Structure 1
């Protein structure tokens, strides 16, 4: 039986996440990842042919892990879409608490990870993940009677912008999220979605 590689992709990406969380995407270089992982530089180049490929993969692995949990909560609405919306807002904060380095990475956005230069396959993965998330949000909006305009803005604020703003305020300065953060996000989302849809 062949021995597993000593420096596999997961180990190298773990090192890249830490570098990005602490120093931003610019800190993720082939040499820095090799040093952080205690690996020869050839191991990094063997698995990632370029820095752009490495940046794409560290972003994609991180955002896909976030999206998996977010979608699971968002689509488990049953007969109560408002409850699913509140749970999804809480999930953003809970995931960020459990994965603070990954959350710090995601706050930079994909463009900071050279998205415009990614290979076609990795761009397709990113686009597919976004389609799934925004499709689920749209379906939830339909269940809530959202037809567009101000109502759609309210839904986006409640499910995306608001919980991310709460996470950003603490994670960007290296603080742990406070114990009340999940409940604050949930309460704020519930309040936003409790009012009747505004008129034209």
Structure 2
């Protein structure tokens, strides 16, 4: 029976996320991941041929985890305003529960060499983005669309406002206070007024 791999993809990606949260995207290097896990550099290169491949997998894994919970909240019953409030609050909750991964999301894919990701990783990200845009467009409905695209209010309510508040606290190395939820909910309600 073969021995289980000691340095799994998840172990290496967890280390990359910790490096990013502590020191920023530039700290995510192949050698830094190897050092922080104690893995031989060959183990890292075996799983990720380049830094861009490592960063792409880190981003997509984080986005998949985040989006799974977000889409669940957005898919609930209720009018668009209530769904947006639920999504914004789930965004805050997820970031509060996963501060290291929240740093990855706040860094953004451009800071993680997105232009150099392997095609398979880039394709996974595109599918995630299409899925999210579809749900946001459904919430916005026809009155919230301009030239077939969401006008931005739903995205601002669910994504942008929570990200701004999370960013301020995480960059200051503070926990996200519970009072921030009221601010996010009020902003979502104001952005998505019932017709």
CA drift at 1:11: 0.6
Alignment of 1:30-41 (within 5 A): 30-41=30-41
- Unmatched tracts of structure 1, length 5 or more: none
Is the CA contact (8 Å cut-off) linking 2:95 and 2:102 kept in structure 1? yes
Q: Deviations over 1:101-142 (max 9, x none)?
A: 111121111011100011111111111101111110001111
**Partner in structure 1 of residue 107 of structure 2:** 108
Whether 2:85 is the aligned partner of 1:55: answer no
**Partner in structure 2 of residue 10 of structure 1:** 10
Query: Secondary structure at 1:194's aligned position in 2?
Result: coil
CA drift at 1:48: 1.0
Following the alignment from structure 1 to structure 2, what is the Cα–Cα distance between the partners of residues 8 and 99? 20
How many residue pairs end up in the alignment? 193
Following the alignment from structure 1 to structure 2, what is the Cα–Cα distance between the partners of residues 55 and 4? 24
* TM-score of the pair, normalised by structure 1: 0.90
CA drift at 1:156: 2.5
Query: Secondary structure at 1:11's aligned position in 2?
Result: helix
**Partner in structure 2 of residue 131 of structure 1:** 130
**Partner in structure 1 of residue 72 of structure 2:** 72
CA drift at 1:194: 2.5
**Partner in structure 2 of residue 186 of structure 1:** 185
Following the alignment from structure 1 to structure 2, what is the Cα–Cα distance between the partners of residues 12 and 176? 25
**Partner in structure 2 of residue 147 of structure 1:** 145
Following the alignment from structure 2 to structure 1, what is the Cα–Cα distance between the partners of residues 80 and 21? 34
Considering only aligned residues, what root-mean-square deviation do their CA atoms show, in Å? Answer: 1.7
- Unmatched tracts of structure 2, length 5 or more: none
